[in-house]
Every structure is written in C-alpha cells, then in structure tokens.
Structure 1
Amino acid sequence: MDSNIIEGRNPVIEALKSGREIDKILVTKGNKEGSIKKIIGMAKEKKILIQYVERNKLDQISTANSHQGVIAYVAAYKYYEVEEILESAKNSGEDVLLMILDEITDPHNLGSVIRTVNAAGGHGVIIPKRRSVGLTATVAKTSAGAIEYVPVAKVTNLARTIDYLKNQGVWVVGADMDGENVHYDSNLTGNVAIVIGSEGKGISRLIKEKCDFLVRLPMKGQVSSLNASVAASILMYEALRQRESK
C-alpha cells in the first residue's frame, strides 16, 4: 500500500481537519456534490492544490479500491516556512546557503538534492506547490536520512519568494547554459540561494529574470545538460569550497 495516499471522502476530510501536510488532492471531473464539495472548499481554504481527473486515473492509483472519487497525496515529512529556514540559518552564525528547485518532478532528484544540501552544509530547500514533487516516501529514502535535517519549504509563488529572499539580503543565482560566467568564476559566498531548473526546460523565463545573475557549468561533451541533482551538487560544493577558502 502507498503510505503517501489517503483514499475516500471521510478519511480525506479527517486529514484536512487534523492539519496533516497535504501536497495535492485528486477529484473526479464533474464531481462537486455533497462531501466532495466540502473537501474542495476545505482544500481551497488551506490553499491545497486540487486536480480534476478522470475516474479511471483514480482507479489506477487506488490501492484499497475505496477512493469514492477522491484521493489525497500527503507529505511524508513536515514542510517549513521560508522565514523559519532563514531564521535557523542566521542562528547558526553562517551565511545563508539555500537551494531553490524550479519544477523538479522526479522524487529521486529531490531526494538527492536534499542529501547534497545536508552534506555541503546548506540550510534548506525551496520548491513550488505546482508542477513539483513533494516530500514522498521515495524522496525520503533517496535522501538517505538527510530529510530529517534539511528543512524544505513549499511555496505558492516562487517568483514572489525570490523577491522576499532578495529583500532579506540573499543573492539569487540561477544555473543556466546562457550564464555570463562559469560557476567557479562566480562569487558564491555570502547569503546565496542557488536555482536549478527542470531537466527538460531548465529554469522558467520568469524565474530566470528574477535571478541576480546566471552561471553556467562548462560542458565539453556531446550532451548539453546535466541531471538536475548532479548540477545542484556541483554548485553546492563550489559554494562550500569558496566559503571554506575565505
């Protein structure tokens, strides 16, 4: 049984009431009557993502065959507020080092990034609510325990969050093949948040425009990009190297 899904109307309502961390709720298309209407209302109030899908999609996901037209994906771990992560970083007496992931949907990539952030002394990871994998059991397993130590924030509006970070004195650096400088020729010391985009599309246009500057990783072979978690590792460790050598 998938421990990250809750099936059925009453179980989902109870999960919403209890304040359980819910990533998204799937509801069958056209189904907005009775308790389903109540679930939709509660989810909207809590700003939880609702997706309307065909019934056969829920049939495929269901493990107990009792979904009653609704399935909730719950987080395996607690999410933090961005403010909490910044506060914790400042209390450590270290310069802030964050990783922002723009539309990373592979749980193995998210888990690997969380593991690297912990190993390289980073303070947290920020992901968007939409078009992003959440804190699933697969993410937790891939992180090799690092998920217990690295706070993850899930935000409604990534662009607005970047504006907030900049107002808090954090430099936002995007990884992009069109970056002006190679990563090791760029200053990654001080309060820094590194942005990694999805493997297919890279960083979205709006988020790219929000970055203070872009850096590129030198590519000598035939392929034009690296796996997202590998790129994140290279940049996190370059930031660590620069900080250690100061």
Structure 2
Amino acid sequence: MARKNRSIKKTGSGLKFWGRHAVEAALDNPQRLIKKISGTREALESLDIPAEISVVFSDVADLGRTIPRDAPHQGLVADVDPLPDVWLGDILDQQSGRPLLLLDQVTDPHNVGAILRSAAAFDAAAIITQDRHAPPESGVLAKSASGALEIVPWVRVVNLSRALDDIAEAGYWRIGLDGEAMDTLEDAMGSSKLALVMGAEGEGLRQNVAAHCDTLARLPMSPRMESLNVSNAAAIALYAEYTRKKGN
C-alpha cells in the first residue's frame, strides 16, 4: 500500500457557488454538502433538487448582492461546504494508470479552475497541489472549472517534493514542464504512467521540485511566442498524454 503523504485539513464553510454548471455538478456529487440553493423560479424549475436542501426563490438583483459583483450567476447560487480531504495514498493505491497533474505554486483560481476542466476532459486521475501555495475552493474557481471541481480529485499535500517521492515509488515517470528543457514532451514520455509537473507562470518550477522529477521537457512552440498560460500548457500536456494512451 502506498505511503500516505499527509494533507492539510481544510477549514471553514459558507462557500457560495454560482452558475448552472457549478451548481448542477455540485448536486450530482454525493460528496458535496449543499445547504441551500437560491435562484430565480425559472432556473430552479429546471433542477432536480433533493427535498433536504433548502430552496429560496430570489430575483436576479437579490442573487447578485450575495456574490462578487458582476459574477455570471445565471439565476443560481448555492451555499455549500468544502469537499472532504483526498489523500495521495488513496489515489496511488487505485493503480488506475491515468496521469497525475502536479501544480507547483499555481495560485490563480481561474487558472486552477481551467486546469481542473482540462483534467476532467483528458481523464487525469487527480491534481495535486501544495496546500500553502494553492487557492482554496471558491465560487470563482468552481465557475472556472465548469463542473470539474466535483469530478477530478484534488489532493493537497504539505510538501510537493515528498509527494513526488511517493509518486515515484508507485511507478510513475515524473516529467517537469520547463520551457528551457532540451527534450520535447513527446520525446520524454516513454511508456510508463505519467505524473506531469507544472510550475507557476513566470517563475516556473522551483529548483527542489524540478530535482524530484525524472526528467524535464518542453512543449514544442513557434519562436514567435515565448510561453503559454499555465492552464493552456496543462491542457496541451494532458491532451498529449491522452492521445499517447489511445494510440497504445
């Protein structure tokens, strides 16, 4: 059984999610505790809401006052609690062969939400972040994820380098994405199951995290563009892994 890399217990409650995709996905997730759903009559009538969840009919203006200004709520706002912790050891014990995606100090909730969406689209087993350098669950992140926050397990660990050691013990080939690397991602992939490691925009991978990767690789790009947004780069890397597996 894989060693369990300790995670940080999430605290707090009182999250608000907004938008149809985020609310519908929360309803479909048995792990998500939903305390209340507020919405317009038209929006609420299209949902299958369990009897135990409180429902409040609201007009558009009232909904807008409960969430950040100009947030696109589409007539729906849900009051929810954070998801339960997910343990790295549990993910590794599944032996699914699906890729893991590790994010090193990627803190923008829009980026993490978009990355979750790509992870769901290309069948990643989980995303893994260091708890101190990653955004918490939030309405902004859930909206950006377009439902994927409820689908893709999100593991938060104390130390990303130690997590990479555990991942290696479980038989993963660890590739750090680095725009200055000699090899392209395709050349570096090999045939093992993969853990893809992405750094923050601008700073890239921290030295200690890069040292715990088996190899570094870059995405092949036109010289007219120096770099990609981290969420775009993650989508391309996950797509490359998805098509590699389909081709085997």
**Aligned position for 2:56:** none
Deviation at 1:182, TM superposition (A): 1.1
Matches within 5 A, 1:229-240: 229-240=231-242
Unpaired runs of at least 5, structure 1: 1-18, 24-62, 64-73
Which contiguous aligned blocks of 4+ residues in structure 1 show a shift greater than 6 angstroms?
none
Measure the CA separation in 2 of the matches of 1:233 and 1:244. Answer: 16
User: Per the alignment, do residues 75 and 110 of structure 1 end up closer, same or farther by CA in structure 2, a change over 3 Å counting?
Assistant: farther
Deviation at 1:95, TM superposition (A): 1.2
User: Per the alignment, do residues 188 and 151 of structure 1 end up closer, same or farther by CA in structure 2, a change over 3 Å counting?
Assistant: farther
**Aligned position for 1:33:** none
User: Per the alignment, do residues 97 and 188 of structure 1 end up closer, same or farther by CA in structure 2, a change over 3 Å counting?
Assistant: farther
Cα deviations across residues 48-95 of structure 1 (Å, max 9, x unaligned)? Answer: xxxxxxxxxxxxxxx9xxxxxxxxxx973333010122233x2xxx41
Measure the CA separation in 1 of the matches of 2:84 and 2:229. Answer: 26
**Aligned position for 1:107:** 109
Q: Is 1:77 aligned with 2:83?
A: yes
- Which letter does structure 2 place at the counterpart of 1:195? V
Question: Could you state the TM-score of these two structures normalised by the residue count of structure 2?
Answer: 0.65
Matches within 5 A, 1:25-64: none
**Aligned position for 1:204:** 206
User: Per the alignment, do residues 20 and 131 of structure 1 end up closer, same or farther by CA in structure 2, a change over 3 Å counting?
Assistant: closer
**Aligned position for 1:125:** 127
Deviation at 1:133, TM superposition (A): 1.3
- Which letter does structure 1 place at the counterpart of 2:192? G
Measure the CA separation in 1 of the matches of 2:233 and 2:209. Answer: 17
Question: Could you state the TM-score of these two structures normalised by the residue count of structure 1?
Answer: 0.66
| Percent identity of paired positions between Structure 1 and Structure 2 | 31
- Which letter does structure 1 place at the counterpart of 2:168? K
Measure the CA separation in 2 of the matches of 1:208 and 1:225. Answer: 18
**Aligned position for 2:142:** 140
Q: Is 1:22 aligned with 2:24?
A: no
Aligned to 1:196, what secondary structure does the other structure show? strand
Unpaired runs of at least 5, structure 2: 1-7, 13-66, 68-79
- Which letter does structure 2 place at the counterpart of 1:158? L
Aligned to 1:22, what secondary structure does the other structure show? coil
Q: Is 1:86 aligned with 2:92?
A: yes
State the number of aligned residues: 175
